Structure 1
Amino acid sequence: MGSISLHKGMRVVDRFNQEPFYIVTGKMNGKFMAEVDRALDEIRNDSPYFQQHLQDKYYSESAYSNQPLLTREENEYIERYKEIVVGLKADSIPYSYKEAHKITGLFKGVLDLMGGKSKLSIRIEYVSDPKKFLEEGTNRFYIGNSLGSAVSTVKGKYWHSNNIFSVDQVIVKRKNTSISQDKVSSVAVVKDALYNSQTKLLYVNSDEQIKKYDSVKECMEAVRTGKVDFAINDIYSVNYYMQSKRYADSLAAVSEYNESSAYCLLASAQVNDILKSVVNKLISSISDEEIDNVCVKYSSGIKYNASLTERIEDNLALIILGIAIAILLIVLGYVVISKKTNALIQSKENEILRRKVEIDKLTGLCNIDIFYEKVAERLRISDEEFYIMNININRLKVVNDIYGIEEGDELIKHVADRLKMFRDSQTDGDNILLARMSDDNFFALLTKEQYDLIKTFDLVDDYHLKINITVRTGADCYIYSAEI
């Protein structure tokens, strides 16, 4: 039957009811027949939908042709209206999600298959409220989950297509726990926005035991946190979320639930009959192999994208350890810096105290006691000839009497600044020692060359008072000697 479409000039014009096939053998082969029956029972147990797969493969419309057999009226309808709109639930991995700002996923792959089999264009939109979306037009559809073939429309308000594909359901439970009917108090399932399943859930005796959540992730979280005993979800979604460390460490998925989750297209009950037929024919023309390829493509190899909150919670122990180490390092750093800071402050304070003791406050030159200590040190470590020059400011008392002590201090600082200027102008100026001995008296330790130069250096040059102020100098020469 399935090969008829391969013969030119032949086409399928009608189909009849299915008839069962039997394996027949002689009466003496009862033992052989028992083995055959056992094998068939094993096939049914291992693959409950094996018989349906055989039927779809060899007797569905896709068995005769990869293209739908559309009537003239159906083709004219497509030419006239050209497009249908299909709504999808956003962020429902692996079924519907965005990648690089484009809608992708298993549903998108199936809709692309349908669109490729006719001239009917399929436009996809993300939908938050399926009911409102379907009520806005008669060419609108929504991909929904029918939990097998047991689907009932809501008071005749919605129409549903043939099933597009089915996905096995699994039980998600906490690790190291067992499930028995007498111990189950609650089960998590995903809310169905448009219709209710008539399928009796495993281990569930009443509707009060069923807790409905908006997503598979919320169902699994409810199991993980102990809000429910277990969840029943499709295997593709469960496999995706089981990549998360939080679920892989605490949950287990078991195939004890012999139900499949079938997906179909839902529309308003007022949808055109011709469009209904077109949609069902497009669905029927999709082969099992094509569906399998789409399912494999979009259900495997998708890396779980954990949220920031999940990353924090999954790595909370490491984060706490890291924070503890960081705090410890900060405390240690604070202690080290505090010690260094205190040592620096102490050093600065000592330096300030030392300068207060060693340095003349008015001129910034060292005082006479420090000068004598440094001269003595120079005598111990150097055999160079040097001079101690005595510098005296003439008429300082006159300036104090006439212009005041403040002006006298300015004159003293001016002479001290000129001495510093001379020291800084010399290439070996670091060897020059300057000190203030008394109010108008300074000492300078100089080499002979420096002494010869300073004698010609005007120490009261540019002083602003227009009176005759001079500086009187004298010097003694010293040479290092072992007998000293």
Structure 2
Amino acid sequence: MRFGKSHRLPVLILAVFFILFPPITVYCASPVEAIRPIQVAYTGYNAFIEQDYNGYYEGYGVAYLNKIAQYTGWKYEYVPDTWLNSLDALEKGEIDLICSAQWTDDRSLKFEYSASPIGTEYSVVCTRKDNDNIYYQDYENMDGARVAMLTGIYQNDQFAEHAREKGFSYQPVYYPTDADAEAAVLSGKADMAVFGSLSRHDGLKMVDKFGPAPFYIITSKENSEIMGQLNEALDSIHSEAPFLEDELYQEYYRSDEPDGKPPLTRDEAEYIQNMAPLTVACIDGYYPLSYADEDTGEPAGIYPDLVREVAALSGLKLQLISVPEGGIPDQLILDKEADMVAGALYSQEMIENPYIQLTDKLTSQKALLVTRQGTNVYDMDELTIVLPATYAHVQSLLSEALLKHHLIYKNTIEECFESVILGEADATIQNNLVANYYMQMDKYKELSLVFLQSLDEGCCIMASSGADRTLMSILNKTISSMNSSSVNQIILKHTTAQPYEETLSDVLYRYRFQLLTVLLCTSLMVVLFLIYSRQHTRMLLRLKEQEAYRLMAETDELTGLMNRKPFYEKAVRLIEASPDDKFQIFYFNIEHFKIINDMFGIHSGDKLLCYLAALIKDWCGTHKGICSRFEADHFVAFVSGNEKYPEEIMELLSSALKKYPLDIPVSITCGVYQIVDNEININIMCDRAHLAADSLKESHTGNIAVYDDSNRKALIHEQIVLNEMDEALSKRQFHVYLQPKYNMATGEIIGAEALVRWVHPERGIISPGEFIPIFEHNGFIAQLDTYMFEETCRILDRWRSEGRQLIPVSVNLSRTGFYNPNLCKNLCSIAEKYSLPPALLEIEITETAYASDNNIIHERLQQLRDSGFHILMDDFGSGYSSLNMLKEAPIDEIKLDMRFLSAGDPCGRAKHILEMVIAMGNKIHIPVLAEGVETKSQVDLLKSYSCNLAQGFYYSRPLPVEEFEALLQGAQKNK
């Protein structure tokens, strides 16, 4: 290669650099990255790894590998081949990775598997779409069929076992590729073909589906360096992008999924073909669940759209009709006003009713208690609760505690809300979606919501008891085949994606006081005109008094800023006055403001709020904006869309707070929403700015965040988890994993900690980090804690019945559960149910949870300890540990968080503090167990400090119960 003059200086500099710093001293990326690209074998699965017409690679597997490359820096070379050739090449070291391998014992001896799967694959059986001889799970007509199979794939063994279970035989015909197997079926050389579900075959129809199994990335046993980097990347992905697999499935499979029609038998298909149209009644007035469209009069809402989806998927001829609000579903059936009713409540009374029958649930939502703000329903011995009339026939949905109160019924939802507003009732019970819809109305914003753990509203389709059983079977199959994504999209369409639109009556209600004022003033003017000479002075005084009251209503008493409502109104007027201008909304939040109030008193907190309010008001005045104190320590500003403004005001506020005379640093965060669509409701704009501000709580990467679609996606992901949590609990998808606790001196297993894992039928094992924060936020965590406690009791009871040696098992309780005054009673009742002594069941609470509200939690812990439970302080050292906590907290053991050592230690004090904490625990006779122990050096260090109890990956990861039992049995035999 020749270099021009312009290249000589860089080359000279580079040469000098390598002389001064030879390559041996330079630490760079791994040799795999530096030498060559990672070679990935693939077999041509559509939508998994495939080349487009430009030669670029795309698909689920490619996207996942590209995500991994963000952490490893890898480049890839894709090598096409058959499955058997790919496995042979991987074993010989000719390639590096295969991305879609299920676990088998034989393969595990030859290959290294990734620590976690990257998806789940089913076994599917397909035939030609025009093959009318074989229907879904038609095993009689499958008998003796010629079945095309791919050589050496995991699904072959699954199908063989499946055929034995179902009692049919087949003739296998083996092909090297998917395309060859599909072509054999299309050409008639084979009757059916067996594939993995990652291989999409839109030209065929599915006639069986079974055996979901996770799939992994594999490499050769000699390639441990690649697998180490891969597992580190997967750990980061699961932590930072927990919904990646769902998103990739939606992108590469869901959008191109076959028509999704339910698998029907021959009789069911003939029924649909020959059936007469059936009418389905949809009851008006249940926004957004079921209502009549104002323009067309046709049924609209979530329930009608779910029925339309059922009709589209099944082919059933269903005609939707709208009936007036207040209609009772079973009465509509008995009066023969319709063949079926959509959205009927799924209840025991209806199941046992001899005149009707119900389908499976279309969807299920939580019911909420709606009451006036300031009403403490827990302190009231008897409540008057108003319910929709449909609840009069389904009281089995109500808990025993609710049935003890005085219940009244109204025909419409609006009548229920009005009864609460007017004081006729203390509360109403409403579906979560209905409650949130109505609470957007101005006249109901003074109401508040209370979560009811025991009340779920499941909706279904109701038919008469004489309805054809074949029809009911088709309906249930179709409901089962509807994926949660389709249901969620319908719900989001009528909720998040279609917010409440104000009506003329809403506007009139909002301005009712102003209209009344105008009316009164007009009347007064007429009267004053007649008696002007005598009443002139009185009129002026009254007008001044009214103005003072108006200012009081619109102004925050503490700071003098506008309240929320006038801020909304003025912001809307500014947008309407300048529709072509760009505006933005800032949402300010003082970090840890509660600590300021607690440490320095409410008076100091109020002074700080007034100080910040004055700064924000002056800045907004200078920039022709407006501002408001929304609540507590939250301020909102509305200004023009100058992109420099966020940095400008945050620099002003941050500089001022640094000089503020307080003994602790005060910081503030700002969420920014840049208005691009003036039609969006102003309160939603402010909510989006609030979402952006909230996103800073976990990131710690700055003090300004701008709203984007990721905030909305996070809400959608959260909604998916919320929609699935109840079904997951009822179907026992939450599994107990046990992590052993060791005596380091003897090597003996002295106990275990029960940890939750969500084993999803489609997404595999879901990390607790994906769902625990959501459950803690919505209160469902209390139900999960109780479930985990009882599952642990069930395991100990089984061990006892099998004659195993019992060891204590600790169960984590969240802070939410400690606010239940019956916590101790409930746990004791569960332990008694399994005849277990409380000493075998240890209760773990984190240090930060105890510190957050130590008065109430202290009382609950004392009750539990007095009842015989052992109390463990978890994560000690990860928060702000206090000597008072050790002195006062009713605890029996400290779990010392070893992450204390890995945190920043600029003064080199960590090990000395660790030694002193262990010594202090020994001195006050509180055992110290080190958790998170991962290395031999940590074990030696702890032993040298006289700490003998440990738990962590050095000894064992959390294990499924069966693996833990084997580990415990082996340890006891070796004693």
TM bracket (short chain): 0.5 to 0.7
Gaps of 5+ in 1: 19-62, 337-484
Q: Which residue of 2 aligns with 1:100?
A: 295
Q: Which residue of 1 aligns with 2:317?
A: 121
Closer, same or farther: CA 172–139 of 1 in aligned 2, 3 Å: closer
Q: Deviations over 1:1-40 (max 9, x none)?
A: 8622487624565879x9xxxxxxxxxxxxxxxxxxxxxx
One of 343, 355, 364 as aligned partner of 1:157: 355
Higher relative contact order, structure no. (Cα contacts within 8 Å, ≥ 6 residues apart)? 1
Deviation at 1:205, TM superposition (A): 4.5
Bigger drift between 71-80 and 186-195 goes to: 186-195
The reply to whether residue 327 of structure 1 matches residue 523 of structure 2 is: yes
Q: Which residue of 1 aligns with 2:72?
A: none
SS across alignment from 1:198: helix
Closer, same or farther: CA 70–136 of 1 in aligned 2, 3 Å: farther
Closer, same or farther: CA 132–173 of 1 in aligned 2, 3 Å: closer
One of 108, 130, 134 as aligned partner of 2:333: 134
Deviation at 1:270, TM superposition (A): 0.3
Q: Which residue of 2 aligns with 1:225?
A: 422
SS across alignment from 2:424: coil
Report the residue type matching 1:303 in the other structure.
Y
Q: Note if contact 2:371-2:426 (Cα within 8 Å) is conserved in structure 1.
A: yes
Give me the whole-angstrom Cα distance separating, in 2, the residues matched to 1:2 and 1:83: 38
SS across alignment from 2:482: coil
Deviation at 1:143, TM superposition (A): 1.7
Q: Note if contact 1:244-1:304 (Cα within 8 Å) is conserved in structure 2.
A: no
State the identity as a percent: 19
Closer, same or farther: CA 266–116 of 1 in aligned 2, 3 Å: same
Report the residue type matching 1:100 in the other structure.
D
Deviation at 1:113, TM superposition (A): 1.1
The reply to whether residue 67 of structure 1 matches residue 290 of structure 2 is: no
One of 86, 91, 110 as aligned partner of 2:306: 110
Report the residue type matching 1:170 in the other structure.
L
Q: Note if contact 1:2-1:64 (Cα within 8 Å) is conserved in structure 2.
A: no
Deviation at 1:84, TM superposition (A): 2.1
Give me the whole-angstrom Cα distance separating, in 2, the residues matched to 1:142 and 1:192: 13
The reply to whether residue 83 of structure 1 matches residue 277 of structure 2 is: yes
Closer, same or farther: CA 134–241 of 1 in aligned 2, 3 Å: same
Closer, same or farther: CA 325–6 of 1 in aligned 2, 3 Å: farther
Closer, same or farther: CA 78–269 of 1 in aligned 2, 3 Å: same
The reply to whether residue 243 of structure 1 matches residue 452 of structure 2 is: no
Q: Note if contact 1:83-1:122 (Cα within 8 Å) is conserved in structure 2.
A: yes
Give me the whole-angstrom Cα distance separating, in 2, the residues matched to 1:194 and 1:154: 15
Q: Which residue of 2 aligns with 1:347?
A: none
SS across alignment from 1:220: helix
Deviation at 1:146, TM superposition (A): 2.4
Report the residue type matching 1:261 in the other structure.
E
Q: Note if contact 2:344-2:462 (Cα within 8 Å) is conserved in structure 1.
A: no
Closer, same or farther: CA 117–258 of 1 in aligned 2, 3 Å: same
Closer, same or farther: CA 126–333 of 1 in aligned 2, 3 Å: same
Closer, same or farther: CA 324–127 of 1 in aligned 2, 3 Å: closer
Deviation at 1:262, TM superposition (A): 0.6
Closer, same or farther: CA 314–92 of 1 in aligned 2, 3 Å: same
> RMSD value over aligned CA atoms?
3.3
Deviation at 1:268, TM superposition (A): 0.5
Closer, same or farther: CA 278–139 of 1 in aligned 2, 3 Å: farther
Give me the whole-angstrom Cα distance separating, in 2, the residues matched to 1:167 and 1:197: 17
Which structure 2 residues correspond to residues 384-423 of structure 1 after superposition, within 5 A? none
SS across alignment from 1:264: strand
Closer, same or farther: CA 179–283 of 1 in aligned 2, 3 Å: same
Which structure 2 residues correspond to residues 24-63 of structure 1 after superposition, within 5 A? none
Give me the whole-angstrom Cα distance separating, in 1, the residues matched to 2:258 and 2:345: 27
Give me the whole-angstrom Cα distance separating, in 1, the residues matched to 2:210 and 2:335: 37
Give me the whole-angstrom Cα distance separating, in 2, the residues matched to 1:202 and 1:315: 42
Closer, same or farther: CA 139–222 of 1 in aligned 2, 3 Å: closer
Report the residue type matching 2:461 in the other structure.
L
Q: Which residue of 2 aligns with 1:277?
A: 473
Closer, same or farther: CA 81–137 of 1 in aligned 2, 3 Å: farther
Deviation at 1:324, TM superposition (A): 2.0
Q: Note if contact 2:263-2:477 (Cα within 8 Å) is conserved in structure 1.
A: yes
Q: Deviations over 1:356-396 (max 9, x none)?
A: xxxxxxxxxxxxxxxxxxxxxxxxxxxxxxxxxxxxxxxxx
Q: Which residue of 2 aligns with 1:368?
A: none
Q: Which residue of 1 aligns with 2:345?
A: 146
SS across alignment from 1:278: helix
Deviation at 1:321, TM superposition (A): 0.8
Q: Deviations over 1:106-157 (max 9, x none)?
A: 112212211211322221111245445424669811023425x645346411
TM-score by length of 1: 0.53
One of 406, 410, 413 as aligned partner of 1:213: 410
Closer, same or farther: CA 172–15 of 1 in aligned 2, 3 Å: same
Give me the whole-angstrom Cα distance separating, in 2, the residues matched to 1:114 and 1:96: 16
Closer, same or farther: CA 202–171 of 1 in aligned 2, 3 Å: farther
Deviation at 1:185, TM superposition (A): 2.6
SS across alignment from 2:433: helix
Give me the whole-angstrom Cα distance separating, in 1, the residues matched to 2:261 and 2:317: 15
Closer, same or farther: CA 303–139 of 1 in aligned 2, 3 Å: closer
Give me the whole-angstrom Cα distance separating, in 2, the residues matched to 1:315 and 1:134: 44
Deviation at 1:335, TM superposition (A): 8.4
Which structure 2 residues correspond to residues 191-206 of structure 1 after superposition, within 5 A? 191-192=389-390, 195-201=393-399, 203-206=401-404
SS across alignment from 2:435: helix
SS across alignment from 2:378: coil
Closer, same or farther: CA 328–182 of 1 in aligned 2, 3 Å: closer
Deviation at 1:326, TM superposition (A): 1.9
Closer, same or farther: CA 237–210 of 1 in aligned 2, 3 Å: same
SS across alignment from 2:514: helix
Count residues in correspondence: 287
The reply to whether residue 180 of structure 1 matches residue 378 of structure 2 is: yes
The runs of at least 4 consecutive aligned structure 1 residues that moved more than 6 Å come to 332-336
Report the residue type matching 1:163 in the other structure.
K
Q: Which residue of 2 aligns with 1:4?
A: 123
Closer, same or farther: CA 186–2 of 1 in aligned 2, 3 Å: farther
SS across alignment from 1:322: helix
Q: Note if contact 1:138-1:267 (Cα within 8 Å) is conserved in structure 2.
A: no
Report the residue type matching 2:515 in the other structure.
I
Deviation at 1:236, TM superposition (A): 0.9
Closer, same or farther: CA 194–282 of 1 in aligned 2, 3 Å: farther
Q: Note if contact 1:65-1:285 (Cα within 8 Å) is conserved in structure 2.
A: no
Deviation at 1:312, TM superposition (A): 5.1
Q: Note if contact 1:187-1:229 (Cα within 8 Å) is conserved in structure 2.
A: yes
Q: Which residue of 2 aligns with 1:436?
A: none
Closer, same or farther: CA 192–325 of 1 in aligned 2, 3 Å: same
Closer, same or farther: CA 4–64 of 1 in aligned 2, 3 Å: farther
Closer, same or farther: CA 202–291 of 1 in aligned 2, 3 Å: farther
SS across alignment from 1:116: helix
Q: Which has the larger radius of gyration?
A: 1
Q: Which residue of 2 aligns with 1:432?
A: none
Closer, same or farther: CA 119–64 of 1 in aligned 2, 3 Å: closer
Give me the whole-angstrom Cα distance separating, in 1, the residues matched to 2:392 and 2:449: 27
Q: Note if contact 2:417-2:428 (Cα within 8 Å) is conserved in structure 1.
A: yes
Deviation at 1:104, TM superposition (A): 1.7
Closer, same or farther: CA 231–335 of 1 in aligned 2, 3 Å: closer
SS across alignment from 1:192: helix
TM-score by length of 2: 0.27
Q: Which residue of 2 aligns with 1:291?
A: 487
Report the residue type matching 1:224 in the other structure.
I
Give me the whole-angstrom Cα distance separating, in 1, the residues matched to 2:527 and 2:517: 15
Give me the whole-angstrom Cα distance separating, in 2, the residues matched to 1:141 and 1:314: 40
Deviation at 1:204, TM superposition (A): 2.1
